[in-house]
Amino acid sequence: MIYLDNSATTHPHYEVLESFQKVADQYFANPSSVHRFGSEAERLLDRSRKQAAQLLSVDPQEVVFTSGGTEGNNMAIKGIALQHQNRGKHLITTLIEHPSVMEAFKALETLGFEVTYINVDQNGEVNPEDIQKALRDDTILVSVMSVNNELGTIQPVQKIGELLKAYPKVFFHVDHVQGLGKIELSVKEWGIDLCTLSGHKIHGLKGTGALLMQKHVRVFPLLHGGSQEAEVRAGTENLPGTVAFVKALRLLHEDHKQKVNHLRRMRTILWEGLMLRDYCKINSPEDGAPHIINFSIPGYKPEVIIHALGEEGIFISTKSACSSKQPDVSAVLKACNLDYERTTSALRVSLSTTNEKEEIDLFLKKLDQTVENLQATMG
């Protein structure tokens, strides 16, 4: 099997699975229980929070463990909007955000909030000046992803954070789900108030993640009940999942530079191979994140190519996994002003550090054969 859909999810590391199983078996007590067994679970949770904070260069009380990207994004966006609506009901985001961000903003519009959706250029990159121009006296939140999940475009998050420092009443949220471990990001230095992370994109487990929330930030909780997670996320903590998430973070930091360099080498091999093929139109920017390349094969439905490659044991995707069963047009590519043929024929290859040159070479060979077979059947 050649797995090239790592932006959708990654294969969990063996050590991550081992951590989960050990904690689920040996520390199954509720961390809120007052007996010794519960206290041991609570200590393990506290230790995990401290380790996560150290790895992410934040304070332990700024780490809220979640079930992943969708919850983190909803918690940040709806939480800020509902908590601070008495100061203003204007929100800003871009046209190329993940569905968990876009749908959260659309839901808030039904509650009377006003959202400005900022355009992007043909590479899917937002201009910080456009965000600055959209700011108003009643703006309370700006939300911009660090890396686009379809194109791999790296957004100018640092510049946006710098300019927003002049607007202390505007909160800045970054969806860093695709960027974690791939690009540098500093929550503290860049003025990021809330930052969403997900475990299953970094060889952790589904249903794990974190929302980094600076000390001064207050959000309206989405879940009410107990006082877990600093009273912003009620519910018995997923201790095995949390320990597994922190283990994935630790493994991510081991030989980090070499891993990113390997990803970049594999992406370059793939990029150069696709450039040689006349039937391909690359949609991703050349200087994008080291793990994603989006390209179109105009005239062919992406699902047909995906299924044909799947028969060969090669797995790629189209669009975001969260929206891949929606209508054909990619909203992200449409926002980049690409023509209809390209927006309806886009494919995404996303790499992990386990992918090797031989796999990319075989993928390109099988892609050629698939297109040749389709051309033959079409006439």
User: Catalytic site residues?
Assistant: 322
Structure tokens at 216: 């001064």
Among residues 178, 360, 181, 149, the alpha carbon closest in space to that of 258 is found at 181
Residue type, 148: N
In this structure, the number of other CB atoms found within 10 A of the CB of residue 163 comes to 19
Report the C-alpha gap between 328 and 92 in whole angstroms.
Answer: 26
Q: At what angle do helices 14-26 and 239-253 cross, to 10 degrees?
A: 150
- How many residues would you count in the chain? 379
Beta carbons of 69 and 196 less than 8 angstroms apart: yes
Query: What φ, ψ does residue 117 adopt, rounded to 5°?
Result: -100, 115
Instruction: Mark out the alpha helices in the chain (DSSP H runs).
Output: 14-26, 36-56, 69-83, 99-109, 128-134, 157-164, 239-253, 256-275, 302-311, 331-335, 340-343, 357-378
Report the C-alpha gap between 262 and 14 in whole angstroms.
Answer: 21
3-state helix, strand, coil in the chain (%, to 5): 40, 15, 45
Report the C-alpha gap between 60 and 276 in whole angstroms.
Answer: 49
